[in-house]
Structure 1
Amino acid sequence: MKIAIVHNNEEKSKEVTKKLRVLLKKNNILIDENQPELIISVGGDGTLLSAFHRFSHRLNEVSFLGVHTGHLGFYTDWRDYELEELVESLMLEQEKSISYPLLDVKICFWDDTPDKHFLALNESTIKRGTRTMVADVYIKNELFESFRGDGLSVSTPTGSTAYNKSIGGAVLHPSINAFQLTEIASLNNRVFRTLGSPIVIAHTEWVTIELQESSDYSITIDQLDIRPDNIESIQYRIAEERIHFASYKHMQFWHRVKDAFISED
């Protein structure tokens, strides 16, 4: 097995990475940063997101595993003090894989600029500077609503516990092959009306958001923040690709949710 390690710049993560490298070398496990089969993320959920985007072009060939150096995260099964147990599990070669849906994002432009495609593990948001964002929302090419407000958020099931939850979106189990559209401070009055509730879109459908012509839109795709000019529309659908996690020790999703938002210990 060939392994790549991605870590953040926290001192604890650097120390854990150093110990992990020693253990891997001791057990004759090859570290290959260019053509790995398994990517181990050391840090938090943000570190794993970075690892995902770094290797997103090889999703059919790699799986991911997270080691958390802080509080328990949604993408990390192992803690920093479990390195020996982790390496022992790698040696047994009894890996099982669990996969989660990803978001396909296509940005189209008013001019002749080629469309841009991205993959998101968590979410994508659209906002418009300091002005009200005006957009038409289409589901499967049929106009669903005309939106006015601060913006829109589109999330995967695993991303539903992130920004989506903070703006009133539902928490979706990652086994659900769907994505979620949630409004950000929509304007609802006698003139402007939207559904005002999060909606869950099936993997067989897609959402297109057509925007007014302007140069002050901000689009986030996970940790990426882009501000391209002349955006005409953004299309969202469930991607054909999926992310695979090596589940040597997999924590049940609702346990993660309880631990993150409810448990006090």
Structure 2
Amino acid sequence: MKFAITSKGDQTSNALMQKMKTYLLDFHLEYDENQPDVVISVGGDGTLLYAFHRYRNRLDKTAFVGVHTGHLGFYADWVPEEIEKLVIAIAKTPFQVVEYPLLEIIIRYIDGGKEARYLALNECTIKSVEGSLVIDVEIKGQLFETFRGDGLCISTPSGSTAYNKSLGGAILHPSLQAIQIAEMASINNRVFRTVGSPLILPDHHTCMFKPVNDADFQITIDHLTLLHKDVKSIQCRVANEKIRFARFRAFPFWQRVRESFVCD
């Protein structure tokens, strides 16, 4: 089996990365950064996001597993004290593959140029370059509302515990095939009106965002911030691709939610 390891870059994470690499090579596994069967992320959720985008073109062939060296993460479910156990599991145990949905974003331009397509593991956010965001929201080809406010966040179930949660969005179990739209400080008065609540769309629904006036947007794809000019539309839906996680033991999602947000 081929493996690769990505590190957060701090001293602790780098040391663990080297230790795991040595152990796995001793078990006669092959280190291959270009075509790995398993990618081990050492750091936090941000490190795994980086690994996901690095290997986004081989999601059907690569599975991810995370070791966290800081605060408890939702993607990194092993701790440094368990790396010997994890190494033995990777080397000796057939792992279970768990697939979670991703967000597909397609940006089209006024001049009809080549569209841009992205995949997000956590979320996509849309903001105007200057002033408030004013944008039509269409669901399944029909106008739902005209949004006015700071911006919109479209998240996956996996990303529902991140920025989406801070905006008042719901926490979704990552196995659900859905995406969620949450508002950022919408303007609601006698003239302007939005639904004011997060929307959860199933995988057979597509949402489209169309500029009302300003066509330049600041768009984030997970940790990447991009400036897109002359935007005609932004399309979001559940992607055909999925992220694959290598599971060697149970992944208690609701326990992880409790430990992250409820327990002292």
The alignment's TM-score, normalised by the length of structure 1, stands at 0.97
Counterpart of 1:63 in structure 2 is: 63
Unaligned runs of 5+ in 1: none
Deviation of the 1:215 alpha carbon = 5.4
Post-superposition shift, 1:90? 1.3
Work out the CA distance in 1 between the residues paired with 2:29 and 2:217: 46
User: Counterpart of 1:188?
Assistant: 188
Following superposition, the deviation at residue 94 of structure 1 comes to: 2.1
Aligned residues between the structures: 264
Query: Structure 2: where are the runs of 5+ without partners?
Result: none
**4+ residue segments displaced more than 6 Å:** none
Fraction of identical pairs, as percent: 48
Task: Report what 1:255 is aligned to.
Answer: 255
CA contact (8 A) 2:109 2:231 kept: yes
Q: CA RMSD in A?
A: 1.0
Contact map agreement 2:141 2:208 (CA 8 A) in 1: yes
Structure 2 distance, partners of 1:144, 1:117, is: 24
* Mapping 1:5-20, distance limit 5 Å: 5-20=5-20
Partner of 1:134: 134
Cα distance between partner residues in 1 of 2:21 and 2:37: 16
Work out the CA distance in 2 between the residues paired with 1:102 and 1:185: 25
CA contact (8 A) 1:13 1:69 kept: yes
Shift of 1:236: 0.3
Deviation at 1:137, TM superposition (A): 0.2
SS of 1:195 mapped into structure 2: coil
Work out whether 1:38 is the aligned partner of 2:8.
no
The whole-number CA distance in structure 2 between the counterparts of 1:76 and 1:249 is 13
Corresponding residue of 2:224:
224
Residue 77 of structure 2: aligned partner: 77
Please tell me the residue identity of whatever aligns with 1:226. Answer: L
| Aligned partners of 1:135 and 1:146 also within 8 Å | yes
Corresponding position of 1:169: 169
Pairwise CA distance, 1:24: 1.0
Alpha-carbon distance between aligned partners in 1 of 2:115 and 2:229, rounded to the nearest angstrom = 13
* Conserved? CA contact 1:213–1:232, under 8 Å: no
